[in-house]
Chains A and B, each alone.
Chain A
Amino acid sequence: DTEVTQTPKHLVMGMTNKKSLKCEQHMGHRAMYWYKQKAKKPPELMFVYSYEKLSINESVPSRFSPECPNSSLLNLHLHALQPEDSALYLCASSQVSSATGELFFGEGSRLTVL
């Protein structure tokens, strides 16, 4: 069982909708991540939070808005998305360390934009 929980598992939304993806971890990790993954492609980093502060934003369009309410929770707010934003959105967490690459991924939220 994964210790990073993502909801919802599947989401279908129109281009004018506003929705949110949620992620929760209880491993005491202080770094949390959002990745986007298209079919047959590797995960693509979107955002990194370190100690609840946004530390990396990989030039993601403003229609994606991350939020880290506390050390266990990470949200991704979605607004006015495009069909090409349809993908698997993965949340991950890790220890905060300059050497870390040991990420624990959630099962992902599969997003379809109509």
Chain B
Amino acid sequence: QKEVEQNSGPLSVPEGAIASLNCTYSDRVSQSFFWYRQYSGKSPELIMSIYSNGDKEDGRFTAQLNKASQYVSLLIRDSQPSDSATYLCAVNNNAGNMLTFGGGTRLMVKP
């Protein structure tokens, strides 16, 4: 069973703190990894993609990938109340446009 797992949360962090969101996946052949942000009542929006082991930084966001441990994470530095949303981890196994989403982690950033 190919799965992508996330803690559903809510993860509550104070404003200005680092939020750490985690995701594990079961299919070892997965090659592409993505983080989507979804505000309540809105559609998902891609915020980060990562394809190789290590860290990838984009502004306040850092994606981390460890293929040996089948683990991908998203760090949000200097968290803002506007970061409050559900974050969806998604994994592509390169088998013809098949993207598997995790259940999402709800993040709450408190002022």
Residues in B whose Cβ lies below 8 Å from that of A108: 42-43
Number of residue pairs spanning A and B whose beta carbons lie under 8 angstroms apart: 64
Residues in A whose Cβ lies below 8 Å from that of B99: 45, 101, 103
Interface residues of A, count at CB 8 A: 26
- A42 in complex: contacting residue of B51, B97, B98, B102, CB < 8 Å: B102
Segment 67-94 of B: residues with Cβ below 8 Å from A: 88, 90-92, 94
In the bound complex, how far is the Cα of B99 from the Cα of A41, in angstroms?
15
Which of A13-21, A67-75, A77-85, A92-100 has 4 or more CB atoms under 8 Å from chain B? A92-100
B22 at the interface (CB under 8 A from A): no
Task: Indicate if the CB atoms of A99 and B32 lie closer than 8 Å.
Answer: yes
For chain B, which range describes its interface: under 10, 10 to 19, 20 to 34, or 35 or more residues? 20 to 34
A66 at the interface (CB under 8 A from B): no
Task: Indicate if the CB atoms of B46 and A45 lie closer than 8 Å.
Answer: no
In the bound complex, how far is the Cα of B51 from the Cα of A100, in angstroms?
10
Task: Indicate if the CB atoms of B103 and A107 lie closer than 8 Å.
Answer: no
Task: Indicate if the CB atoms of A103 and B101 lie closer than 8 Å.
Answer: no
Residues in A whose Cβ lies below 8 Å from that of B88: 42-43
List A residues at the B interface (Cβ < 8 Å). Answer: 2, 31, 33, 41-43, 45, 48, 50, 55-56, 88, 90, 94, 96, 98-108
13 A-B pairs with CB atoms under 8 Å apart are A33-B97, A42-B102, A43-B88, A48-B97, A55-B97, A56-B96, A99-B92, A101-B34, A102-B49, A103-B99, A105-B43, A107-B42, A108-B42
List B residues at the A interface (Cβ < 8 Å). Answer: 31-34, 42-46, 49, 51, 88, 90-92, 94-99, 101-104
